[in-house]
Structure 1
Amino acid sequence: MNIKTTLLTLSLSLSSSMALAAGQVEVLHWWTSGGEAKSVAVLKKMLEEQGYQWKDFAVAGGGGDNAMTVLKARAVSGNPPAAAQIKGPSIQEWGELGFLANIDDVAKANHWNDVLPAVVSNVMKYQGHYVAVPVNVHRVNWLWANKAIFDKLNLKVPTTMDEFFTVADKIKAAGYIPLAHGGQPWQDATVFEAIALDVLGSEDYRKAFVDLDMDVLGGDKMVKVFELFRKVHSYIDKNAPGRDWNIATSMVINGKAAMQIMGDWAKGEFTAAGKVPGKDYICAPTPGTSNQFTYNIDSFAFFKIKNKADQKAQDALAATILTPEFQQIFNLNKGSIPVRLDADMSKFDACAVRSMKDFKATAKSGDLVPSMAHGMSTTSYAQGAIYDVVTFFFNTPNADPKQTTEMLKKAVKAAL
């Protein structure tokens, strides 16, 4: 072996040793396609630029269900990853099991309490200590509308449910599908919770889907929610059952349908199709909820690990996720908005700017509420019970709203 080769081998060996000494962070997630994968690649690069190793632990499919199955097996065997994509009440469940690491030092050094709204930071804490970090905020209560159809029919985007039905009747009479929808439980629940937010108001919405208050779940207002939900069904097409959300979005993009109720990930479909907000499509809060904001927050929870060097890499990952730079890149790719209240929105489109404005306003007013449909408000057991009742009602023409309200109360009670 010549001197050149020996030096190269030694150099590579030293580099490898230094990388290992700097620590490795294994990250479990299910962002495996499109803008999400691009964003993960950016996070990996930013971490490696700090001298740490990134070990990708991507588990595709099932909207995270597959990933959670793998995570449980790893955690129980005493070998959890450094970080895992976990959100909402599930963070508390993992905290109760004693698996999560305290990252208060990182939070304090980077002033998280100052840059995050309390309603968000509280979800990231277990017993008052940070154990997770938020990545983004999705607004769920969005109505997407095809501007050409509304212009052609000389209609305004509805701001109340009464206006929605009036507009939908005119759209239907003109030969268009008023509301694009995918008949899947989570999509049914997305429409249901939007109506519930309007009818119940923010306080009773919270009582129903966060506190699981039986009086509200089984009350007269909930009967009204089911009545309106039933009426909405008459404005979707007969081919809706089983349809994926993005196919429903494409119906609005292509002018087959006029509207869709869906979170802001739908915007990615419009963007990919070369459509521009205000010119080709309109984004507006779902009818009756213009001063309210239903949120879905992606986040990473941090697990207890023994290796000191890996703990440093873990802390670096937590800090990097909330940097203004990563927040901007990630959310421009994903269609969501940064979770930081001080985010620079100059590169974001009109829908995102509106979303951030409303996010800040509702954080102050108390009208920022967690999405039941997207696992932010309650346990997976209670959510599953609500899904079952909502989807049964939506797909059963002769189901009675009053009886269904009583069924909802009983189903949630049984899930507790």
Structure 2
Amino acid sequence: MKPAFLTSLTRTAVAAIAVCSCAASFAGEVEVLHWWTAGGEAKAASALKDQLQAKGHSWKDFAVAGGGGDNAMTVLKSRVVSGNAPAAAQIKGPSLQEWAAEGVLANIDDVAKAEQWDKLLPKVVSDVMKYKGNYIAVPVNVHRVNWLWANPEAFKKAGAKLPTNWDEFFVAAEALKKAGVIPVAHGGQNWQDFTTFESVALGLGGTDFYQKALVQLDPAALNGPTMTKVLETFRKVKSYTDKNAPGRDWNLATAMVIKGEAGMQLMGDWAKGEFVAAGKKPGKDFACVAAPGSAKAFTFNVDSFALFKLKNEANVKAQKDLAAAIMSPQFQEVFNLNKGSIPVRLNMDLAKFDDCAKSSAATFVESAKSGALVPSVAHGMAVPAAAAGALQDAVSQFWNDDKMSVASAQSKIAAAAKIK
């Protein structure tokens, strides 16, 4: 599926983009579009800049504020349409293939072969970075989405134990509620709703069901009894959230767990950064365990850079050095220590990483071998944007409307999956 914003480009315009020197004013310049503008991410971007400059290249920062990247994509589209694409842009998931289909991305197989990316990356990840078998993007990191974060003191107060399945989750939630603690910290935004939903689906149905229902969008799985159970369980989770959840940002929900106001949060590992920033230590001040029922599975969210076609040879060399630098052990360590994620390389020394990251990395490796490494729908890794948006809307409608029947929600979700 081609992105709507590019479909109207003429063949001439696309060709112009492909051969444009992209306004490079001197040799060895690499212009990078990203939205790493705050905190640890900004530090990580500086580390990458330093690596490029050490190789004699010049870095042109094309930073666009806005954590989700929506602002950045708007700017990028206008740049590409006007024939002035940057060397690299932060793009991920199925959107990579949509951009590649327009003929504007560079083939970086020579870098990938020299650096042995096929050996360093799980196939499910490297496939996302390729278009028609050729690398057109480089991955930066891996976030595990199916995490449960918990406050040990709140659990101790409630006399509850950390859950390993959904039955145990509700036993713990009930105990927390009786102890005067909000059981589940949640932010009522559609991506947060779907983050919870996909963890319920994974924990109850397993990876085969998850793949069929939420990645392949198989009608039989979407309309079947397992999905019915997922929706019933999902609704039950909501009953343990607080009335102030609608519209709450995810980090504010994390803060509730940090302070002991809430016992648990279902959220990706970026939540760990909030605990660490608050001076909390994993295993002591907070617990990180797999979302109920999903200990051996791993829903991934991988940040990556798409590389655009350039003409200037010095800039092409700088671009290729950028790709190699992103996958280097040095950058993988620095960036992921700052971001709370784990390296996408499979052979990394994790001595500097905490226990949560080490646990995540171990599951990443094992799930890649077992087939339990699956893309997150909520975070743009699994299905095209139109279908993902429709699915999230349908799920959030169910979450927000206690009168909507499970059968009605199931029909809405199945219909949303057909949107292209």
- Which residue among 49, 56, 60 is the counterpart of 1:51? 56
Task: Encode CA deviations 1:163-196: one digit per residue, 9 max, x unaligned.
Answer: 0001100100110000000000000000000001
Aligned residues: CA RMSD:
1.1
Match for residue 183 of structure 1 among 188, 191, 196: 188
> Computing the radius of gyration over CA atoms, which structure comes out larger, 1 or 2?
1
CA–CA distance in structure 2, aligned partners of residues 380 and 194 of structure 1: 20
Which residue in 2 is equivalent to 1:16? none
CA distance in 1, matches of 2:333, 2:385: 30
Q: Which residue of 1 aligns with 2:115?
A: 110
Please name the residue that 1:217 is paired with.
Answer: 222
Of the three residues 275, 280, 284, the one matched with 1:275 is: 280
Q: Deviations over 1:67-108 (max 9, x none)?
A: 111111111111100000000000010011111100000011
Deviation of the 1:200 alpha carbon: 2.2
Indicate the residue corresponding to 1:247 in structure 2.
252
3-state secondary structure, aligned to 1:100: coil
- Alignment of 1:148 onto 2:134: no
1:388 alignment counterpart: 393
Separation (CA, whole Å) in 1 of partners of 2:291 and 2:191? 17
* Aligned mate of 2:348, from 323, 332, 343: 343
Structure-1 separation of matches of 2:56 and 2:288: 42
Say which is worse superposed, 306-315 or 147-156, in terms of deviation: 147-156
After superposition, residues 260-271 of structure 1 pair within 5 angstroms as 260-271=265-276
Name the aligned partner's letter for residue 153 of structure 2: A
Q: Aligned partners of 1:76 and 1:101: how far apart in 2?
A: 16
CA distance in 1, matches of 2:107, 2:280: 44
Q: Which amino acid aligns with 2:242?
A: D
- What is the match of residue 172 of structure 2? 167
CA positional deviation for 1:228: 0.4
Amino acid across the alignment from 2:192: Q
Q: TM-score if structure 2 supplies the norm length?
A: 0.93
Tell me the CA shift for residue 204 of structure 1.
1.9
Q: Which residue of 2 aligns with 1:9?
A: none
What residue in structure 1 maps to residue 207 of structure 2?
A: 202
SS in 1 for 2:390: helix
Q: Distance in 1 between matches of 2:100 and 2:209?
A: 28
Q: Name the SS of the counterpart of 1:63 in structure 2.
A: coil
State the secondary structure of the residue aligned to 1:178. Answer: strand
Retained in 1: the 8 A contact 2:96–2:137? yes
1:284 partner SS: strand
Letter in 1 for 2:89: A
State the Cα distance separating 1:151 from its structure 2 match: 2.2
Structure 2 unaligned segments of length 5 or more: list them.
1-23
Q: 1:411 & 1:141 partners in 2: Cα distance?
A: 23
**Corresponding residue of 1:34:** 39
Structure 1 runs of 4+ off > 6 angstroms? none
2:374 counterpart of 1:359: no
Are 1:22 and 1:51, in contact at CA under 8 Å, matched by a contact in 2?
no
- Kindly provide the CA deviation profile for residues 265-289 of structure 1, in whole angstroms up to 9, marking residues without a partner as x: 0000000000000110100000010
Contact 2:27 2:312 in 1 (8 A): no
- Aligned residue pairs, count: 397
CA contact (8 A) 1:20 1:53 kept: no
DSSP 3-state at the match of 1:106: helix
2:322 equivalent among 317, 328, 353: 317
User: Match for 1:383: what amino acid?
Assistant: A
Three-state SS of the structure 2 residue aligned to 1:311 is helix
Say which is worse superposed, 215-224 or 185-194, in terms of deviation: 215-224
Is the contact made by 1:27 and 1:57 (CA closer than 8 Å) also made in structure 2? Answer: yes
Partner of 1:410: 415
CA deviations 1:304-349 (Å, max 9, x no partner) are 0111110000000000000001000000000000000001100000
Aligned-partner Cα distance in 1 for 2:25–2:411: 58
Q: After superposing the two structures, state which structure 1 stretch, 320-329 or 152-161, moved more.
A: 152-161
User: What residue is the counterpart of 1:374 in the other structure?
Assistant: 379
Residue of structure 1 equivalent to 2:30: 25
Q: Which residue of 2 aligns with 1:235?
A: 240
In structure 2, the partner of 1:294 is 299
Q: Distance in 2 between matches of 1:336 and 1:69?
A: 26
Identity of aligned residues (%): 61
Letter in 2 for 1:162: D
Q: How far apart, CA to CA, are the structure 2 residues paired with 1:219 and 1:96?
A: 34
* Equivalent AA in structure 2 for residue 33 of structure 1: A
Question: What does 1:76-155 align with in structure 2 at a 5 Å threshold?
Answer: 76-155=81-160
Q: Which residue of 1 aligns with 2:12?
A: none
**Unaligned stretches of 5+ residues in structure 1:** 1-18
CA distance in 2, matches of 1:148, 1:343: 34
